[in-house]
Amino acid sequence: AYREAVLPAHIRARVAVEAAHVDYWWKFVGLDGKVIGMTTYGESAPAKDLFQFFGITTEAVVAAVKEL
């Protein structure tokens, strides 16, 4: 009941943004959703640089939403 209240099944346009690995979020966004975040492990740098490197940016979120 809670999950349906938060993520109604009829809403399929979903975007998740994760500063770590993205695998966890696919079960929530579904096949029609988008997940923005890291897809590999083992990088080390200041967060600002890693976000840019992995495309975790405002521009990426806006583009993902527009694609849906």
List, in order, residues 6 or more apart from 66 with CB less than 8 Å away.
none
Average pLDDT over residues 52-63: 93
pLDDT in tens, 20-41: 889 999 999 999 999 999 888 8
pLDDT at position 14 is 95
Q: Out of 3.40.50.920, 3.90.800.10, 2.40.340.10, 3.40.640.10, which CATH number does the structure's domain 2-67 have?
A: 3.40.50.920
Query: In the block, which residue shows the tokens 């500063």?
Result: 19
Where do the domains of the chain lie?
A: 2-67
Torsion sign, CA atoms 22, 25, 26, 31:
negative
Tens-digit pLDDT profile for residues 36-56: 998 888 788 999 999 999 999
Write out the two tokens for 25: 């979020």
- With tokens 């009941």, the residue in question is 1
Is the pTM above the cut of 0.95?
A: no
User: Reduced to 3 states, what is the DSSP secondary structure of residue 2?
Assistant: helix
Distance CA 66, CA 5 (A): 24
